[in-house]
């Protein structure tokens, strides 16, 4: 019997001292492998219990998995488990006797199909720990090497799966040896919105998903492979063998259509897997619609159990049992999922409450809110009790203690705010003045919300839950009660308010920042300007003065002096902002005025953002000052609390996402350099088609879509290099300037206050959040942010649909518009309509298989034929030989119509009616309307809905009166029908439009 | 240390050996030129050096001389750096004295002392690293040194320790196994005849098990003999080559 000898050097501490102990370690050429596949059972001495040979693979758990999930591994259903000695010893050391004995019994128990492999005593499996290698890494490495050896020992007959929680290990070993798979558990299931029945994707958790060649997501094809998991669940996925991999479909298709679209050749195969387990369910409230009467009947006898269709396409139908099917037919209803039997095609759920009628504005808005898990109950009594009082009888005053502690800027500084017209919650004001030494002093004053919202008060908890003020197309849901948001925290003109100020001293000529200080202050804003007025003042048009209420009651002389002072301040601010902006531009700040991003990157999140913004310089000036304040505050809190500061990062995008952008730009002859934010910004500036400004806009929005979203994070959980804000080209950034609207800003305010106290060597009053708590909070805020964006987008779409719903697409001039093709698919094109800001799909092949063709008058017709897709164009050829080609960025004329849907939200539908640009009948009208359209649209829809409601009420009253007066029947009479038609006429708003 | 498992369910000991397996033994004879005989042995991490002088005249008081046989004088010492914690005194403490006494008894039984009356044989043993089984290592080293000195012996004296854990006898205990505090048995054997030169046991062990532990120790001692025999033959071969034979 041959024995080799090796030594293990162990350093261990004993009573605080380090003691170096040398132990022997004997290796042998063969240890029992206990596998029936072993080629030489005699040398291996396999006399104990053997693994079964009928399993598909052997599973080797990593040490951490053995430690944490031993209970799971104890399931007798799990077969073919090999416990490595390394893992067992770690368990023994770290989890103690009890756990180890459990494992020992498991190994002894003949019913459990698991064995121990003494890898550390096997001469080929043993790997000494390297210098500087951490214990954990060494253990994982040993286990992996042993797994590889075991695989080869069994003559590569049995694949081995090593299960680990260590992302790095997955990355490092995942693709090293064929047949030995290293998997980690987690990924979030994302169901494809448009092909809910067939495709779903799993995105691996964490940034490091580039393991085992899995650059992209994992495709889960079909409902069966999805294994009862629902959109948003955290699932475990098993990869299928390569020959079963499938590609994703590139063709456009309707959601509810059958598998017709599969006739197209799918794109190249991507990793495909199936869900083998759900780690965390993400069930929430779902909005559903009951099937219509005909459908109920077709469902057969078992009418007690109803299949309802969720509003969200990605959610499968839910089976609920109710007796109220008839009554709830026309309503949107909230249900919850209770269970999902493994034998069932659909989950079981129960009815919760009714939201509103289908198609009704309030009902639809409520649907959007529920779907985004936004809860907007009014503030409770207890919460309101915490609020300060400000009534005419009992006005709120600056308290003397605060006056002593705060710096008083009321007399010394000219403070003013610039906001959109009609804005109630003014949370930022600006000031600029010349100091005695000639230098400039720039100040940004932010409402001091934290003064009124103590940590962990009821209102604080509520605000944390809401996390953000939700702006829908026609309304908003505040984060703080209106007494704060619109009054005491709002920096209105002419009243004393508490503020938190960031004040810089700037060099008089170069505008370089010399000093900065942060403080709690008292301010009195002198002017509450709106953007347009400020711009006029900046341009030197003083006729606007009459629109500014602060100037109204002044006599001519003082008015002139004050005006000059204000104009100087605005002018100076603009100059400073230009300078700062230029500096940031040199670092590569991006101007991403995308169609959708506009809302996100803008400092001033407000309802006016729905209007395609008129590019005023004042906007930029204010935004720049806010960015500057945010940046400096971020620096400050990070310096004071390097491990628990809340910052905002914008990670650099992945280059592969830019490929579409580059392709599109190439079609127009532009080259987009995406290597860094600087080159991207420059090349986007250059990519400007003088004949078609829309091209640049589209390219910018594409660039935006390729990027990831900016996120809040806690500095303790990220490396410093990752703090970078890609879009703004700043190394540190946070949100500080809108505490009325965002909870993140409240957190930042508290951090800043603590930082100031720390500088003064004072005790920090509030308990700051630890890194872990802050991380948790960031996740919540990010989540809510996303919900806010989705709800805003969905509500805009809702209004668009409601607007077009009442129009007759065949006759109405407004429904025909100019569109630009921005993406090509196999059976259609994606079109952007600049006039309405709508993006949508237009088919080139209709449901009957006919393709589009354009005659000499460029009118389109449907004819039999075929489509051919190229990189930058798509050609439709009819059997008659006529052909028409659509290029990227071609202008076409489209007809907009609404595709009504009972169970889901309505969708805008586009149809190409001509391959020539749409000739605008009236140029002037177009220009005017394009700017005002969206807000008008919202107003119109709201009004028409109100009118309709009013009419309905009147009608009901009339009917009741009639009933009492003339004892008429309750049913529908011709009179009411005519009345209804009259009411419908009110809905026609085309005449009022464009005035 | 509390939960250290001396013998796993799979039959492995802490260092990877099975119950009856010895640690690796490496030995050399004739490591010193000026001594009559010398040897160095490594049993695992236990390392011992043995030197033999004699037979020579009685040194010191003549009264100690034995009229019919040679006097075997054994001295045991342990280097200060031999254990995990540094030792204060290398020799002369109680433990060393006792060990010297045991060695003397062992070798008086093995050396043909009657061939050298009124003379003295000195055996000095030093342990350089103690990792369990020091007695056995000392005996084995001394055997080789005595052989190297050309002092006639009845047979090799081969020693090995044995322990008893989980109703299994373990051969050749390492320091970890000794420190665990189970019964421990040291056996010096004259392998050819199977005679026991010395047997010593610490701690209590049930009589029923003694047989098996003794058997394990004896088997291990015979294994040691095989190895030592190989070392001696190798040494003689090398020596004869050097002599130009």
* pLDDT, tens digit (0-9, with 9 covering 90-100), for A282-291: 788 888 888 7
Tell if the CB–CB gap between A108 and B12 is shorter than 8 Å.
no
- Chain B residues 175-194 with a CB less than 8 Å from chain A: 176
* Chain B closest-CA separation from residue A112 CA (Å): 16
pLDDT of residue A926: 41
Mean pLDDT of A291-302: 62
Tell if the CB–CB gap between A25 and B16 is shorter than 8 Å.
yes
pTM for the predicted model, two decimal places: 0.60
The label of the residue with tokens 């879509």 reads: A705
Q: Is the pLDDT of residue A167 over 90?
A: no
Residue of A nearest to B17 (CA): A26
Tell if the CB–CB gap between B44 and A100 is shorter than 8 Å.
no
The label of the residue with tokens 């003494």 reads: A118
**String of DSSP letters for A920-934:** PS-HHHHHHHHHHHH
* Alpha carbons A945 and A938: distance in angstroms, whole number: 11
Mean pLDDT of A648-660: 79
Q: Is the pLDDT of residue A55 over 90?
A: no
Nearest to A26 among B5, B15, B131 (CB): B15
pLDDT of residue A351: 86
Tell if the CB–CB gap between B84 and A23 is shorter than 8 Å.
no
* Chain A closest-CA separation from residue B94 CA (Å): 26
Nearest to B23 among A24, A27, A116 (CB): A24
**pLDDT category, B209, cuts 50, 70, 90?**
very high
Cβ contacts of A107 on chain B, cutoff 8 Å: 9
- CA dihedral over A340, A346, A348, A352, signed as positive or negative: positive
What does the mean pLDDT of chain A come to? 75
Structure-token pair, residue A132: 């500087």
* Alpha carbons A862 and A512: distance in angstroms, whole number: 65
Cβ contacts of A21 on chain B, cutoff 8 Å: 84
Cβ contacts of B3 on chain A, cutoff 8 Å: 92-93, 96-97, 100
Mean pLDDT of A459-467: 89
Residue of A nearest to B11 (CA): A118
The label of the residue with tokens 């693994």 reads: A51
* Alpha carbons B225 and B231: distance in angstroms, whole number: 10
Q: For residues B91 and A74, which has the higher predicted lDDT (pLDDT)?
A: A74
The tens digit of pLDDT for each residue in A782-840 reads 989 888 888 888 887 887 777 777 666 666 666 777 788 877 777 778 888 776 667 77
Q: Is the pLDDT of residue B198 over 90?
A: yes
Among B3, B9, B16, which would you mutate to test the A interface (most chain A Cβ atoms within 10 Å of its Cβ)? B16
Q: Which residues contact A381 (CB under 8 A, 6 or more apart)?
A: none
Question: Cβ of B59 under 8 Å from any chain A Cβ?
Answer: no
* Alpha carbons A948 and A950: distance in angstroms, whole number: 5
Q: Highest mean pLDDT: which of A100-109, A260-269, A508-517, B115-124?
A: B115-124
| Torsion of Cα atoms, A534 then A535 then A537 then A539, to 10° | 170
Tell if the CB–CB gap between A23 and B176 is shorter than 8 Å.
yes
- Closest C-alpha to A903, from A256, A285, A337: A256
Nearest to B3 among A5, A19, A97 (CB): A97
Cβ contacts of B176 on chain A, cutoff 8 Å: 23
Least confident of A126-140, A586-600, B129-143: A586-600
pLDDT of residue A612: 47
Strands (E), A601-664: 646-649
Among B10, B42, B227, which would you mutate to test the A interface (most chain A Cβ atoms within 10 Å of its Cβ)? B10
CA distances from A554 to A292, A537, A549, A671 (A): 66, 18, 10, 57
Cβ contacts of A27 on chain B, cutoff 8 Å: 16
Q: Is the pLDDT of residue B21 over 80?
A: yes
- CA dihedral over A129, A135, A137, A139, signed as positive or negative: positive
Tell if the CB–CB gap between B15 and A96 is shorter than 8 Å.
no
Cβ contacts of A19 on chain B, cutoff 8 Å: 84
With vertex at residue A258, the alpha carbon angle to CA A256 and CA A262, rounded to the nearest 5 degrees, is 120
ipTM above 0.90, yes or no: no
**String of DSSP letters for A479-540:** SS-HIIIIIISS--BTSEEEEEEEEEEE-TTT--EEEEEEEEEEEEEEEEEEHHHHHHHHHT
Q: Is the pLDDT of residue A547 over 80?
A: no
Question: Cβ of B128 under 8 Å from any chain A Cβ?
Answer: no
* Chain A closest-CA separation from residue B171 CA (Å): 15
Mean pLDDT of B4-16: 86
pLDDT of residue B129: 92
The tens digit of pLDDT for each residue in A887-935 reads 777 788 888 877 777 777 777 777 777 777 766 554 444 444 444 455 5
Chain A interface with B: residues with Cβ < 8 Å = 1, 3, 5, 7, 19, 21-28, 32, 48, 92-93, 96-97, 100, 104, 107-108, 116, 118, 120-121
Q: Is the pLDDT of residue B128 over 90?
A: yes
Question: Cβ of B46 under 8 Å from any chain A Cβ?
Answer: no
Cβ contacts of B16 on chain A, cutoff 8 Å: 24-28, 120-121
Question: Cβ of B56 under 8 Å from any chain A Cβ?
Answer: no
pLDDT of residue A896: 80
* Chain B closest-CA separation from residue A128 CA (Å): 14
CB neighbour class for A130 (10 Å; exposed up to 12, middle 13-18, buried from 19) = exposed
Q: Which residues contact A647 (CB under 8 A, 6 or more apart)?
A: A634, A637, A638, A712, A713, A714, A715, A723, A732, A733, A734
3-state DSSP: chain A helix, strand, coil percent, rounded to 5? 35, 25, 40
Tell if the CB–CB gap between B16 and A19 is shorter than 8 Å.
no
Tell if the CB–CB gap between B45 and A93 is shorter than 8 Å.
no
Residue A620: CB atoms within 10 A of its CB come to 15
Residue of B nearest to A118 (CA): B10
Tell if the CB–CB gap between A24 and B9 is shorter than 8 Å.
no
* Alpha carbons A847 and A851: distance in angstroms, whole number: 9
Cβ contacts of A28 on chain B, cutoff 8 Å: 16
pLDDT of residue A374: 83
* DSSP element (H, E) containing A458: helix A458-466
Nearest to A24 among B8, B15, B84 (CB): B15
* Alpha carbons A113 and A56: distance in angstroms, whole number: 13
Inter-chain Cβ pairs, chain A and chain B, closer than 8 A: 53
**pLDDT category, B9, cuts 50, 70, 90?**
confident
Bridge partners (DSSP) listed for residue B171: B162
Cβ contacts of B44 on chain A, cutoff 8 Å: 5, 24
Nearest to A24 among B3, B8, B45 (CB): B45
pLDDT of residue A215: 45
pLDDT of residue A606: 34
Mean pLDDT of A737-745: 89
Helix residue ranges per DSSP H, A806-922: none
Tell if the CB–CB gap between B16 and A96 is shorter than 8 Å.
no
* Chain B closest-CA separation from residue A5 CA (Å): 7
Residue of B nearest to A45 (CA): B10
**Residues A447, A489: contact at Cβ < 8 Å?**
yes
The tens digit of pLDDT for each residue in A119-152 reads 888 888 888 888 788 888 888 888 888 888 888 8
- Closest C-alpha to A484, from A393, A401, A379: A379
* Alpha carbons A582 and A587: distance in angstroms, whole number: 9
Structure-token pair, residue A259: 């598998």
Q: Is the pLDDT of residue B228 over 90?
A: yes
**pLDDT category, A205, cuts 50, 70, 90?**
very low
Distance between the two ends of chain A, CA-based, in angstroms?
101
Q: A478: helix, coil or strand?
A: coil
**pLDDT category, B75, cuts 50, 70, 90?**
very high
pLDDT of residue A493: 82
* Alpha carbons B48 and B79: distance in angstroms, whole number: 10
Question: What is the share, in percent, of chain A residues with pLDDT greater than 70?
Answer: 76
């Amino acid at each position: 019997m041959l024995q080799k000898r090796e030594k293990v050097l162990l350093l261990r501490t004993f009573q605080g001292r380090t003691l170096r102990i040398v132990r022997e370690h004997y290796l042998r050429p063969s240890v029992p492998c206990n596998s029936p596949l072993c080629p030489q059972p005699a040398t291996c001495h396999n006399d104990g219990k053997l693994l079964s040979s009928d399993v598909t693979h052997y599973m080797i758990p990593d040490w951490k998995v053995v430690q944490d999930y031993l209970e799971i591994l104890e399931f007798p259903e799990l077969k073919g488990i090999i416990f490595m000695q390394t893992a067992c010893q770690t368990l023994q050391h770290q989890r103690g006797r009890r756990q180890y004995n459990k494992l020992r019994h498991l190994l002894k128990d003949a019913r459990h199909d698991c064995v121990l492999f003494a890898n550390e005593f096997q001469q080929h499996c043993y790997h000494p720990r390297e210098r500087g290698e951490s214990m954990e890494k060494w253990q994982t490495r040993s286990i992996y090497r042993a797994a590889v050896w075991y695989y080869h020992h069994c003559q590569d007959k049995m694949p081995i799966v090593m299960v680990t929680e260590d992302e790095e290990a997955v990355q490092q070993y995942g693709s090293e040896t064929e047949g030995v798979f290293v998997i980690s558990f987690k990924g979030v299931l994302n169901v494809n919105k448009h092909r809910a029945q067939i495709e779903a994707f799993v995105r691996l958790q964490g940034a490091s998903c580039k393991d085992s060649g899995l650059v992209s997501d994992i495709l889960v094809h079909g409902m069966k492979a999805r294994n009862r998991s629902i959109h948003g669940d955290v699932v475990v996925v098993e990869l299928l063998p390569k020959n079963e991999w499938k590609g994703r479909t590139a063709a456009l298709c309707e959601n509810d259509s059958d598998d017709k679209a599969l006739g197209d050749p799918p794109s190249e195969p991507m990793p495909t897997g199936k869900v083998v387990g759900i780690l965390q369910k993400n069930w929430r409230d779902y909005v559903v619609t009951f099937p219509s009467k005909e459908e109920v009947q077709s469902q057969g006898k078992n009418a007690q159990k109803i299949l309802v269709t969720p509003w969200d396409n990605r959610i499968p139908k839910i089976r609920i049992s109710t007796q109220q099917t008839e009554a709830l037919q026309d309503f949107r209803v909230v249900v919850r999922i209770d269970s999902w039997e493994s034998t069932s095609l659909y989950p079981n759920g129960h009815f919760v409450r009714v939201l509103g009628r289908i198609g009704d504005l309030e009902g639809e808005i409520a649907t959007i809110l529920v779907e985004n898990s936004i809860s907007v109950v009014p503030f409770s009594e207890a919460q309101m009790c915490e609020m300060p009082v400000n009534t005419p009888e009992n006005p709120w005053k600056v308290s003397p203690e605060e006056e002593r502690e705060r710096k008083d800027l009321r007399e010394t500084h000219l403070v003013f705010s610039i906001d959109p017209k009609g804005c109630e919650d003014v949370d930022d004001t600006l000031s600029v003045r010349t100091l005695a030494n000639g230098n400039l002093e720039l100040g940004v004053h932010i409402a001091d919300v934290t003064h009124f919202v103590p940590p962990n008060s009821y209102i604080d908890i509520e605000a944390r839950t809401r996390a953000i003020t939700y702006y829908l197309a026609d309304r908003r849901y505040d984060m703080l009660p209106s007494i704060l948001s619109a009054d005491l925290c709002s920096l209105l003109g002419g009243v004393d308010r508490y503020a938190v100020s960031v004040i810089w001293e700037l060099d008089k000529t170069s505008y370089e920042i010399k000093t900065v200080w942060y403080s709690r202050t008292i301010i009195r804003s002198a002017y509450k300007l709106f953007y347009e007025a400020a711009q006029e003042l900046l341009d030197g048009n003083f006729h606007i003065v009459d629109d500014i209420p602060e100037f109204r009651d002044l006599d001519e002389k003082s008015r002139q002096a004050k005006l000059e002072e204000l104009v100087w301040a605005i002018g100076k601010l603009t100059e400073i902002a230009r300078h700062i902006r230029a500096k940031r531009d040199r670092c590569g700040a991006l101007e991403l005025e995308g169609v959708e991003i506009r809302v996100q990157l803008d400092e001033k999140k407000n309802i006016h953002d729905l209007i395609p913004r008129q590019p005023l310089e004042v906007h930029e000036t204010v935004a720049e000052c806010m960015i500057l304040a945010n940046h400096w505050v971020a620096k400050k809190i990070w310096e004071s609390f390097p491990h628990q500061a809340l910052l905002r990062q914008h990670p650099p995008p992945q280059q592969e996402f830019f490929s579409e952008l580059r392709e599109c730009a190439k079609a127009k002859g532009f080259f987009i350099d995406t290597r860094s934010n600087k080159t991207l910004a420059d090349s986007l500036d250059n990519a400007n088609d003088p004949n078609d400004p829309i091209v640049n806009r589209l390219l910018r929005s594409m660039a935006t879509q390729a990027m990831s979203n900016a996120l809040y994070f806690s500095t303790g959980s990220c490396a410093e290099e990752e703090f970078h804000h890609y879009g703004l080209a700043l190394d540190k950034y946070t949100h500080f300037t809108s505490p009325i609207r965002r909870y993140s800003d409240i957190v930042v305010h508290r951090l800043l206050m603590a930082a100031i106290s720390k500088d003064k060597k004072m005790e920090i009053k509030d308990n700051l959040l630890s890194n872990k708590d802050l991380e948790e909070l960031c996740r919540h805020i990010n989540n809510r942010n996303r919900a806010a964006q989705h709800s805003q987008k969905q509500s805009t779409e809702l209004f668009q649909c409601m607007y077009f719903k009442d129009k007759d697409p065949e006759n109405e001039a407004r429904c025909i518009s100019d569109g630009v093709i921005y993406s090509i698919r196999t059976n259609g094109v994606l079109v952007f309509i600049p006039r309405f800001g709508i993006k949508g799909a237009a088919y080139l092949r209709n449901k009957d298989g006919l393709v589009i063709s354009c005659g000499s008058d460029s009118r389109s017709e449907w004819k039999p034929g075929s489509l051919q897709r190229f990189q930058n164009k798509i050609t439709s050829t009819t059997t008659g030989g006529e052909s028409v080609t659509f290029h990227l960025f071609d202008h076409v004329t489209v007809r907009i119509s609404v595709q009504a849907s009972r169970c889901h939200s309505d969708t805008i539908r586009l149809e190409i009616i001509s391959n020539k640009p749409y000739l605008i009948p009236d140029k002037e009208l177009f220009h005017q309307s394009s700017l005002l359209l969206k807000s008008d649209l919202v107003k119109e829809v709201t009004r028409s809905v109100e009118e309709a409601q009013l009419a309905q009420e009147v009608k009901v009253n009339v009917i009741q009166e009639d009933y009492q007066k003339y004892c008429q029947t309750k049913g529908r009479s011709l009179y009411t029908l005519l009345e209804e038609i009259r009411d419908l006429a009110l809905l026609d708003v085309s005449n009022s439009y464009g005035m | 240390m509390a939960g250290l498992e001396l013998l796993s369910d799979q039959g492995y000991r802490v260092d990877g050996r099975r119950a009856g397996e010895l640690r690796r033994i490496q030995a050399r004879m004739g490591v010193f030129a000026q001594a009559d005989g010398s040897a160095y042995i490594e049993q695992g991490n236990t390392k011992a050096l043995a030197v033999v002088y004699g037979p020579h005249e009685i040194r010191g008081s003549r009264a100690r001389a034995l009229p019919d046989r040679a006097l075997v004088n054994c001295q045991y010492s342990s280097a200060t750096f031999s254990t995990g914690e540094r030792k204060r005194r290398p020799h002369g403490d109680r433990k060393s004295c006792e060990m010297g006494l045991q060695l003397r008894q062992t070798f008086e039984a093995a050396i043909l002392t009657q061939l050298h009356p009124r003379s003295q044989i000195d055996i000095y043993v030093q342990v350089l690293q103690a990792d369990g089984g020091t007695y056995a290592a000392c005996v084995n080293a001394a055997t080789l040194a005595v052989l190297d000195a050309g002092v006639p012996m009845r047979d090799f004296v081969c020693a090995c320790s044995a322990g008893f854990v989980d109703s299994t006898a373990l051969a050749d205990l390492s320091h970890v196994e000794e420190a665990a505090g189970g019964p421990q048995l040291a056996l010096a054997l004259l392998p050819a005849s199977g005679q026991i030169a010395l047997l010593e046991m610490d701690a209590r062990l049930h009589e029923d098990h003694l047989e098996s532990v003794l058997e394990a120790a004896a088997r291990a001692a015979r294994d040691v003999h095989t190895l030592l025999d190989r070392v001696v033959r190798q040494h003689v071969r090398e020596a004869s080559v050097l002599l130009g034979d």
